[in-house]
């Protein structure tokens, strides 16, 4: 594990970090954020993919902040949005929106504040939800690689950028869908997922990423949509699912720990989102929650049987009091709390650096 303390860091590793980066005590040096992942991070890519059936481009999504649907799968901002605001960066456009604007001439260049490639419903496994025509992680990476190859992104900008990665919840949720028996046992399935993550890290580093934030999955077995799964409990979280999540998260942290030795000049951080969300669930009142089990917007058991905005849905009057906005996704209030902890929290929540420190790293 990287650490900035001499007690916990090998002298050689510490020296390499100091030679490569210095920490600024003033404003953040980061100029852009490039984001890869699923619906937790999607800023509206699926909206611009007209063949995609995984959508949140209708009311009441976006109602609490944007006052319109933006394609984000929550009632307002996501973690990426909040971190962008904390760092003083304009919110990033979805890649497909930027691509359309450049193609039709409404803008000349791709944005210089970063791009969001995340696609709701996608996974780290290429085939996850392919029937929904989502954009797999591998294709998201190809989109980024194409822009680099076409000199649409200033390579110098990459040195002053953050790279965010969060994906895997759809892969694990789908493992428990009753469509057909899985070909792999849970451990082998998680290993297959981590193999894809490792390949992603290799490629994103080779393309210029140097400040990489990897976010763990939250407790996927606690989402209200577990009510859709036969045999899943509704009075408690789905333990088998969360065990796979924990195993995957452990593998993600191992990937992050290997970054300084495997990728010279790179710094990686691991955001322990699972533990953060479990803290909210354990002491909800401290964080302003009244309900940490059901969706604010939806219908049926736990509000998890109908997507928010679809026929028959109902919406709660106080979304900020709910951990979950819809059957899969946190509320804006939850995202805000998570973002604050990831931005300036201790190593028990994000390690070895928080995002504020990562954003203050400057190439020497």
Query: Which amino acids are annotated catalytic?
Result: 39, 326, 329
What's the order of all strands across the beta sheet hosting 93-94?
Answer: 93-94, 114-116, 32-37, 161-166, 211-215, 267-271, 350-351
Strand partners, 34: 115, 163
Contact indicator for 284, 290 with CB cutoff of 8 Å: yes
Contact indicator for 186, 175 with CB cutoff of 8 Å: yes
Supply the DSSP symbol for 353: S
Q: Which helix (H) or strand (E) holds 186?
A: helix 186-206
Supply the DSSP symbol for 330: B
CA distances (Å), 49 to each of 74, 82, 122, 162, in order?
19, 25, 13, 25
Beta strand segments in 56-142, E: 93-94, 114-116
Contact indicator for 227, 286 with CB cutoff of 8 Å: no
When computed from its CA atoms, the radius of gyration of the chain, rounded to whole angstroms, is 20
């Amino acid at each position: 594990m990287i650490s900035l303390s001499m007690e916990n860091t090998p002298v050689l590793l510490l020296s390499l970090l100091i030679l490569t980066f210095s920490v600024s005590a003033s404003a953040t040096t980061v100029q852009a954020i490039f984001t890869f992942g699923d619906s937790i991070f999607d800023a509206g890519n699926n909206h611009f993919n007209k063949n995609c059936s995984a959508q949140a481009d209708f009311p009441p999504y976006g109602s609490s902040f944007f006052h319109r649907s933006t394609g984000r799968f929550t009632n307002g901002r996501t973690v990426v949005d909040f971190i962008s605001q904390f760092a003083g960066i304009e919110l990033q456009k979805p890649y497909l929106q930027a691509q359309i604007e450049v193609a039709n001439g409404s803008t000349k260049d791709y944005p210089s504040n970063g791009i969001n490639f995340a696609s709701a419903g996608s996974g780290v496994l290429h085939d996850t939800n392919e029937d929904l025509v989502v954009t797999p992680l591998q294709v998201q990476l190809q989109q980024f690689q194409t822009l680099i190859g076409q000199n649409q992104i200033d390579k110098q900008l990459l040195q002053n950028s953050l790279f965010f990665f969060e994906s895997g919840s759809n892969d694990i949720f789908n493992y428990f869908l009753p469509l057909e028996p899985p070909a792999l046992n849970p451990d082998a399935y998680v290993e297959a997922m981590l193999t894809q993550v490792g390949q992603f890290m290799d490629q994103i580093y080779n393309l210029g990423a140097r400040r990489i934030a990897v976010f763990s999955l939250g407790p996927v077995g606690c989402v209200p949509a577990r009510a859709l799964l036969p045999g899943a409990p509704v009075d408690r979280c789905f333990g088998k699912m969360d065990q796979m999540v924990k195993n995957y998260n452990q593998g993600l942290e191992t990937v992050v720990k290997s970054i300084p030795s495997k990728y010279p000049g790179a710094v990686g951080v691991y955001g322990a989102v699972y533990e953060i969300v479990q803290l909210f669930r354990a002491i909800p009142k401290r964080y302003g929650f009244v309900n940490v089990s059901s969706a604010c917007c939806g219908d049926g058991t736990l509000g998890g049987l109908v997507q928010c905005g679809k026929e028959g849905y109902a919406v709660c009057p106080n979304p900020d009091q709910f951990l979950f906005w819809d059957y899969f996704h946190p509320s804006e209030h939850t995202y805000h709390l998570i973002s604050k902890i990831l931005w300036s929290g201790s190593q028990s929540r994000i390690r070895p650096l928080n995002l504020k420190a990562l954003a203050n790293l400057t190439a020497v």
